[in-house]
Structure 1
Amino acid sequence: MDFTFTEEQQAAAEAARGVFAGVAPDGVPSPALTQGRPVADDLDRALWARLASADLLSLLLDEESGGAGLDAVALCLVLREAGKVLARVPLLESSAAAAAVQAYGGPELRSALLERAGRGEVVLTVAASGRTGHDAAELAVTARQDADGGAGGEGGDWVLDGVQTAVPWAYEADFVVVPARTGDDRSVLAVIARGQEGTALAPQISTTGERLGELRLESARIPAPYVITADGAWESLRALLATGTCALALGLGDRVLAMTSDYASKREQFGHPIASFQAVAVQTADRYIDLRAMEVTLWQAAWRIASGAPGALPASGDVAVAKIWASDGVRRIAQTAQHLHGGFGADVDYPLHRYHAWAKHLELSLGPAAAHEETLGDLLAAHPLGA
C-alpha cells in the first residue's frame, strides 16, 4: 500500500505553510493578563482573508461550488500547520460545516452558503459541546417540525429548544450548525443565522482566552430548507470535527516539542546543555513517541473518513483511537515542555504559555482518553475482530 500524500494534498500543506508563515502566537495577549476578558474582539480577519485567497477555505468543496474537491486528509494537513501557530480562525469549524452542507444539504441551502463560505464571505461554526460539555450535543436541543406544509412540499418550519454551551466563534460566525434530536429519536442539523429570532448568546471565555458563546434556543423557528434531516449527517460532521481537532493537537505538539528541543540544546547547567542530561533526553524521547503515535492514528482516521474504506471496525473506531492519543499526547507534551523550560514555561510573556493554554483547551475539546477507550471497547464488543 502507498501511504504517501498525493500531490494535491502536499500542495495544500505547502500553501498553508506560506499563509501561516507570518503568524506570531506571542502577538496575542495572554489570558492571564486580560482579567476575564477575551484576548481579542474578533477572529483574525486578515488571516481569514489570506486563507480565502489561497483557496484553503474551499478545500473540501467540489468544483461546482468553487472548491478543490479534496478530502479530510488534505484538510488535516492544513489544520496541522494552523495548530503550529495557534491560528485564530474557525478553519476547522467552517470547513467541516460546509462539507456537511455539501454532502447532506438541499439545493437551496447549498446555493445559499457553499460558494460564499469558500470565498470567506460567510463564516460557519458548529455547536458540538452539548448543554454542559460532557453530554452528547444532539441531546441538548429538541427539534420538531410544524405539521403545516411549506413551499415546494418541504414541510413547515422546524422549532428548536435547548442550550448549547461553548460554541466556538459564536459571536463572529454568520451561521451556527446545531445538532438536535427529534421526537422519533433522529438527529438533524439546523443551520441557524446569527441573530435569528428565538436565539440568544451569552459570552463565555475559553482556556485559551478566546470568546465562546452559550447559545440558547427558545422556540426558534428555522425554515425547512435550512434543516438537514439526512441520516448520518451529524455523525459524519462529528467525526470530521474530532479528527480535525486531533490534527490541530498534532501541529501544536510538533511546535512545542521543537521549542523544547531548541531550548534544551541552548540552556546550560554545570557547564553543559541540559539536552545532554539523560533525564531530559528520556523525557523528550517519550514525547517524540507520543507525537508519532498521534500522527499515525490521525492519518488512519482521516483516511478512513476520506475513503469510506471498510475495516474490521467502523470508522468511529479509528476516530476514537486518534482521540485517545491526541488527548493524552498533547497534555503530556505541554506538561513536559513547561517542566523542561523551568521558569520560562510559566512566563506569560513567553509563547509557551499560550501553547499550554491551547493544549488544555484541545484536550478538553477532545474529551478524556478513558471515555474514548470505553467507546473503543464497546465497538470491539459489537464487532469482534476476526468474527
Structure 2
Amino acid sequence: ILIVDDIELNRSIFARQLQSEGAVVSEASGGFAALTAVQQADEAGKPFDIVLLDHMMPDIAGDEVAEQIRARANWRQPKLVLASSIGKPISTDRAAQAGFDAFLTKPVRHQVLVDCLSGVVGEGALRPEAPPAKDVVLADPRPGHARVLLAEDNQINILLARTLLEKEGYVVDCVLDGVEAVEAARTQAYDLILMDVQMPRMDGLAATRAIRALQGAAAGTPIIAMTANAMAGDMEACVEAGMNDYVSKPIDPEAFLRTLRRTLSGEDSVAPAVGGDAVDDMPDLDDTHLEGLARLLPAARFADMLDVYRQNTRQCLERIEFLAVDQDLPAIAAEAHDLKSTSGTFGARRLQRLGEQLEIAGKAKDAATVARLLPVLRQDGERALALISRRCIDSEPTGEIMRKIS
C-alpha cells in the first residue's frame, strides 16, 4: 500500500494502522513523488495493490494524481482510495471521474480504514473477517456523535472545558494526568482527546507518544494540545509528539470550539503561537472577556467556577509566598503556571501576565526577579479578585448567586 500525504503525521498514523494489520506500507510526501513511486514499483514487478491519496496537496491534488495513474495504460493499475477532509470535500461524481474506487473522510477510524481497503481489493485482503466497505465512507461530524477525552488537572479548566463541550452535545470523560489518559485511550474509543501538556505523573507530550504507540484504532485518535505555553518551541514539541492541533490557555470559548470542529473534520492546522505584553500595558480586568464568559455559561455554573477560582487563587498566592521563603523556585514556577492559566480564563490580564513572568523566572532560577515580582503579585492578586467579585455581583443573573456565596 502506498500512502500519499504531504503531512508527515497523517502518513505516520495511516502507516501504523495498516502495519498493525500486516500490510506492507510505503509513503510519498506529494503527488509527483507518488507518481514516481507507482512507476518504479511497476517497473520492478512489484506494483502497489492500493494507493491511498490525500486530496489537497501543495504540488498536485489527489484527483489529478489519480487521473494520471489511470492514464498510464501500460501500468498495472492499483486500487485508488481518496482520503478527503470534510472541510475540503470532493463530489462523488468527481471522485468517480478521476478513477477512484472509494473515498474516505478524515479523520478515519481504524476499523473504517480496514473495512474500506478490504472491500476495494477483495474481502479479507487485510483482515479475513472484515466485510466489504461501501464505495463512499463518511465520518459523522455531528458533535452529538463525538466522544471526547479531557485530560486536565486544573479544576477551573476542567469545569470550563466540560461545560463548553457538553453544551455543544459532546460526550465527555475526564482524567487528571497522562497515565490515566493513556489507560482511558487504551480501553475506550474516543473521537478526540484534549490533552493538557503539563500534568503530574506523566505530561501530555509523553502521554501522546504513548497513545500513538498503542495497537489498533487508539493510535490514530486526534489529539489537541492544551497549554498555557503558547510559544513556537512548544507548538513544535506538540507536533513532534504526534498532536494534531493546539489550543492556548486560558481557554477562549469560541477559538476552543472552532479548533475542536476543525480537528474532528480532519483539517490539519496547528494554532499559531501568541506573545505576551508587558504587565504595565495590561488592564487589571478584561470586562468584555468576563462578560462574554458569563453570558456563555449557565449562571450557577459560572458562579461555581468563579468561587473555585477565588479560593484556589488565594491559596496559590499563599503557597507562592511560603515557597519564596525556602527559595523553592521550581515549585514557584509550577504554581505560577496554574495562576497564569486560570487568571486568563476570567480575564484577569495583569495577574495572568505576572503569573507568566513568575513562571519564567522560576524556571530560570532567577531569584532576584522572583523577589521583585512577589510584592506586585500580592497587590495585583487581591485587586483582581476584588474586581472580579464586584463585576459579577453587579451583573444579572449571576449577581444574585454571587451575593449568596460572597
Do the two structures share a fold, i.e. TM-score over 0.5?
no
Q: TM-score with structure 2 length normalisation? A: 0.22
Indicate the structure whose relative CO is greater, using CA pairs within 8 Å and at least 6 residues apart: 1
Larger radius of gyration: 2
